[in-house]
Amino acid sequence: MGSEKMVNFTKYNREAAAQYAMKWALSRNTAYKDYENWGGDCTNFISQCVHAGGITFDHEGNNILKQWYWYSDMSRTPSWTAAEPFYKYIIGNNSSNTHNFGIYAEEVDYYDLEVGDIVQLIYEDNLAYHTMIISDVILDGNFLVDYLICQHTYDLLNYPLSLKVGEKRYIKIFGYYD
């Protein structure tokens, strides 16, 4: 009988991710490099938020594009700092029938978003160029009015998603396997 690896699932702490986003939306956490002058800081900021929500670094993938971490500017993955590699990593890492190490997220419909979920702006060829996080859900009773987002590259705190122009895709983060 072979040894089987125990896999634990830990839920994403949406509130912690959103709290981090609101704390740092209009400034920078000096523990991380600011990539504003190197193509933008949006995905770096969102990765920080997701990490603050309890998602652990992932070194398990068989190449750097299947990993997600940041220790310094010289020790990081493209999935931490660039919009499309971030998308490919978090959507490709797990599905409903896998239990790989690391994050589990799925692309969802607009109405399925919650605090801490991710929104990306995409080009016509479906490649992401900007990443944002849901910081609040605005309801009128049970009716969804709008979502508020936080972002870097230009910095926004609790900005209405409905005012963001462009094609969007929506990513729900469930948690991670360890």
User: Is it the case that residue 75 has pLDDT exceeding 70?
Assistant: yes
Q: What's the pLDDT score for residue 24?
A: 98
Closest to 164 (Cα-Cα) out of 172, 174, 156, 173: 156
Assigned architecture for domain 9-177: Alpha-Beta Complex (3.90)
The pLDDT tens digits for 28-42 are: 999 999 999 998 999
The pLDDT tens digits for 83-100 are: 999 999 999 999 888 888
Q: What is the pTM of this model?
A: 0.94
Question: What backbone phi and psi angles, to 5 degrees, belong to 9?
Answer: -110, 130
| Confidence label for 120 from pLDDT (cuts 50, 70 and 90) | very high
Domain locations in the chain as residue ranges: 9-177
Closest to 175 (Cα-Cα) out of 96, 115, 104, 87: 104
CA distance 168 to 6: 37
CA distance 167 to 92: 21
Q: Mean pLDDT, the chain, as a whole number?
A: 94
In three-state secondary structure terms, 70 is strand
Q: What's the pLDDT score for residue 68?
A: 97
The pLDDT tens digits for 128-167 are: 999 999 999 999 999 999 999 999 999 999 999 999 999 9
